[in-house]
Chain A
Amino acid sequence: MPRDVAIVGTGQTVYARRRTDVSQAGLVREAVDAALEDAELTFADVDSIVVASGPALFGSVNQPEKWLVDGLGGLMKPVVRITSGGGTGLAGALAAMNQVSSGFAERVLVVAYDKLSEGALQYQISTLYDPFWGREFAVGIMGFASAYWRARIETLGHTEEAAAMVGVKNHRNAFLNPYAHVRKEITVEDVLASRPLAWPIKLLDVPPISDGACAVVLASPEAAEKTTAKPAWIRGMSYFGEADNAPDRFMLQSVPLQLAAQRVYKKAGITNPRRQFDVAELQEPYTCFELSYYEGLGLCPTGEAAKLIESGATDMEGDIPCNPSGGCMGANPIGATALIRLAEAALQVTDKAGERQIEGARTALVQAGGGWANLRGVAVVGAERN
């Protein structure tokens, strides 16, 4: 039988637009030290390490885990890197989860990071596209994201105002998160009046570019018991992709997101997501994506995302708070962002989230995404096992 997998420690770095005080190796070490301290473990307790980061071009180091290993205490241990675009943090956690669940390892350290100050981000993202057919007219991620939002405005009513409310909410929540480096009070009017980048996407619909790392320690039930009286349990996790050029690709709703949610909800016995989840951490690279995820994750019916955000249900005080951490708006070190969502969910269900704690949170939803919006991950984290 597969073993349950617990999160027994989390650690996050200070996030900033530029961390000029540390190298990439120093950055990941900061998160790892914090996670091991939280788990009350040392390097010697770690059986295996999974590194997750964005594309190698982001940091201009190929296979960076080969360099980082010295600082990760990984000498003579299994070390592997998973890379899967923006959602790679969760993809890395999933690889680690399988290592624990199968019995390959008892405790696995997952570390995810990006040091985006060291490269030209949108240029490097643009190399995602096919060199013959796509690259000449592709513009980073923003080009197609704006086209699809435009379509969702028409068909699903994901208005500019509704998306602006997502930005206002997440910016407001970021004030409660000591790790967030963007602390800026904004209004719906500010967002609507901000400079269009690729209309309808405007400057304040877009998260910051950050340097940062996050680390999480996963453990088997036996190993977790020795470490902590209060682990967070991974009740399900999945990561789906779809061909970027598939002729039947439907972008009004993300099919890989729905497939991942379906898989994970079944495993965790989630039949009414809105009611059963106490809190959600969603990876929203632009405000419009969070609206789309509400529907894809079943937090509201199709076409009612605008109504959901307007109702205040996803605010801190609402019945399904989304991104109490501030989400990507507070800090966005891309390769780490999805693992941060998982770590934040673990903090919530173990009552360790400080000022951003949702009282009594027992079950948390985590969502991650990357690639050309064609890689999507979902996890359920709980105070109890399945």
Chain B
Amino acid sequence: MFAGSSNRVGIVASAQTQFKRAWADRQHVDLIGEVVNAALKGSGLRIEDVDFVIDSGSDILDGRSISNCGFLGAMGAHQKEESRVEEDGLWSALYGATKIGAGSAEVGLLVAYSKPSESDVAAFYWSQCEPFYQRPVGFGQAAASGLQAQSYLAEHGLSEEIFADVAAAEWAKAVANPALEIGDAPSAAEVRESGNAAAPLRELEMSQPVDGAVAVVIASQRVAERICPDPVWITGIGTAMDQHAFSRRQRSALPAAAVAAEGAYKRAGIDGPQGLSLAEVSASSSATQLMVLEALGLAEAGKGAALYEDGSKVAINPSGGALPADPIMATGLARLSEAALQLTGRVGHAPEGASSAVVHGAGGVGMQNHCVFTLEV
């Protein structure tokens, strides 16, 4: 996968907590401890076998400086190599993959979590904006999402109805996913009737924050083949960040997601996603959901909605994706975990005979940063 490196990196186990709006009776350490134990259980590995821990969480969401410090015990990182990647968990997976790819370790534990029910999610986003020009005018995730949605419709001459259809389709898949406790799926009409979030976007067309944690265990080829009957191999990784100034960004598309995908496909030695079995992607709204699918090469620009109307050869978000359930810092790692579970046939919603996947994670206001993985069994 990496130039000059013959070390393959495999996903050998993963686990997530139930995702729900609020885990009111659990602390962060409870959620983290639960997934670390669950991921290791039955994996053939004990915590002693784990060489390092890389974790994603947010000081701002946690209300705590250096918040990884308080969770090292729960993460199983006591007296181990550990680092905090303060970005979506898919970047922790990137770190872990380079560490094993470099041959400096054999088994890594990746942890990502968020408990937005205890935080002000709008503040989590607006505090990412530079403090001089953007923050004073109240810029944040809602404003960015609304502008992206308007630009997308204007650029392609589309009607806002498509956003409700996308949200309803994702919710319909999500309620069939036993790992989510998010209530009943709204119909497209109900999505349209939900409150105004950021014109033209409605409340239910925005990603809905959930509490939860995810753990993924990755290993070198040597270890993976010894302990796991069906390791999921990481075949490609790409990542790219767009500029900060939103006024200068392209708003009807996500070029950084396209660059990230191109990087992953190149490393995987494929031209695009067409031959892959499934895609698990993140999104901040129905509009960016379509833009991500287009940036990944699953549809042409402005044609993302057709994947929902006409069906898609590459199964899109069999888990229900990030719109109904967005555990913020854990969303991308949850996509990775989901894809791995589907490729090994461990969840009921897996597409039949699935053997390869593209996984996407993002971070930042208006999805400024993107990371893409490709996988195969």
Measuring CB to CB, which residues of chain A are less than 8 angstroms from any residue of chain B?
1-3, 23, 25, 55-58, 60-63, 65-70, 74-85, 91, 94-95, 97-99, 101-104, 124-125, 127-131, 220, 238-246, 255-256, 259, 370-372, 374-375
Contact = CB atoms under 8 A, between A and B. Distances in A.
Given A56-B59, A62-B127, A242 B72 contact: yes
Given A66-B128, A76-B255, A239-B83, A127 B242 contact: no
Contact of B95 (A95, A128, A130): A95
A243 B102 contact: no
B interface majority secondary structure: loop
A246 B63 CA distance: 22
A102 B66 contact: no
Given A77-B241, A103-B2, 17 more contacts: A2-B102, A55-B59, A63-B128, A75-B243, A79-B241, A80-B91, A81-B86, A85-B66, A98-B98, A101-B104, A128-B69, A131-B63, A238-B81, A241-B79, A245-B73, A372-B69, A374-B72
A241 B368 CA distance: 31
Contacts of B4: 3, 103, 220
Contacts of B2: 102-104
A69 B241 contact: yes
B39 interface: no
A62 B60 contact: yes
Nearest to B83: A91
Contacts of B255: 76
A238 to B, nearest CB: 6
Contacts of B364: 63, 66
Nearest to A134: B70
A70 B243 contact: yes
B5 A375 contact: no
B72 A80 contact: no
Contacts of B275: none
B72 A102 contact: no
B103 interface: yes
B113 interface: no
B188 to A, nearest CB: 33
Contacts, number: 200
Nearest to A96: B98
Interface string B78-98: 111111111100010011011
A63 B83 CA distance: 16
B101 A79 contact: no
B331 interface: no
B141 to A, nearest CB: 12
Contact of B69 (A57, A98, A374): A374
B167 interface: no
A91 B259 CA distance: 27
Query: Top 8 A-B pairs ranked by shortest CB distance?
Result: A243-B73, A102-B101, A103-B2, A101-B102, A55-B65, A62-B127, A102-B102, A2-B103
A81 B87 contact: yes
Contacts of B239: 78-80
B182 to A, nearest CB: 26
B98 A83 contact: no
B69 A375 contact: yes
Contacts of A82: 83-86
A385 to B, nearest CB: 15
A210 B365 CA distance: 30
Contacts of A91: 83-84
B240 A55 contact: no
A80 to B, nearest CB: 5
B368 A66 contact: yes
B319 interface: no
Contacts of A255: 79
Contacts of B78: 241-243, 246
A199 to B, nearest CB: 25
Nearest to B260: A78
A63 to B, nearest CB: 5
A127 B64 contact: yes
B309 interface: no
Contacts of B130: 25, 61, 67
Contact of B99 (A62, A102, A371): A102
A372 B239 CA distance: 32
Nearest to A260: B81
B131 interface: yes
B80 A240 contact: yes
A94 B104 CA distance: 11
A102 B87 CA distance: 21
Interface in B277-304: none
Contacts of B363: 63, 66
B242 A76 contact: yes
